Structure 1
């Protein structure tokens, strides 16, 4: 708690200094930290930064301590939990949120923990409306081929094997896409008037009941 309050006081002091430099009114100095005290804290831990989120700095220190103690870099969510902090979740968040970090934060992660930004092949595939439609239509065709009709119960879920042909739709580890087919068809009926002609034709060929 003391460290948290100290960082807050240092942050207020720096904000006041910036306001003075800009010639703007400065709020009460009560509770702010003197420059001498900030220097003392810098001497104890030169890596602390009052303008960064304290939670971020806490997790950074915990991960660094874990690695220095001989542990491997936590990269799996739930794999390493220290003092209530999921270190694997934090590391993953840094990799996928790399662009939101300050350059100095990126430098610290790269040079003290060998953490690198997530590659494009690791990021979830962004689906377009066309790829979503293709996946749902594939599920409808599969249901029709098996059942001979398209009278799908509202809660029915169809599992479709991808074989890489669903336009980037994210599949599970077993290569299967789960489609809430009944819900999708109900939603399609509600916006039938706005459907492109080709999409209506695709469903008409399956005996779609509008």
Structure 2
């Protein structure tokens, strides 16, 4: 558990580092300390083979980074920050979409890039990981918040990414809306997914929804 004094130090260090408008922030002492912690935590994660257990470990580690993230989001001016971007990715991996989106808004505003080793751009990564996280939750029978999916679409609407990735987002959005009884809107998203990626696997779902809408109209 991080002490109040430690949380305050991390938040203030994050503010000082994030106020740098350009260039690396590694000169900041607090930033260096957090990079060391991040290195050690990544080393721990590499020792875990199970993706499920990795996600569990990330959930345990993430609260320790919360003061840093809060400082950057409150006072940041767009300095590239490997700690912040790693936390965003870990939150997506852990299924914490709302907190990941809070960082995503900042990252997209300032055009921050993912850490070294990630080939996807930031909007590409956000859209795909939100879609896949929501899909895993949906397939496990968990409730998926439609607002998070719609926010992701809005955030990434003007960004460039593969059509297949955007199709994933429309597909899971369609499924969640279908289960909420919003069939016409669900149909629109599934049709958009098919338009973007013909092999996304929604053709039968579209047929069933169209049939259900026709039957409801004929009653």
Give the structure-2-normalised TM-score.
0.25
**Larger strand fraction of residues:** 1
Which structure exhibits the higher relative contact order, with contacts defined as CA atoms closer than 8 Å and separated by 6 or more residues?
A: 2
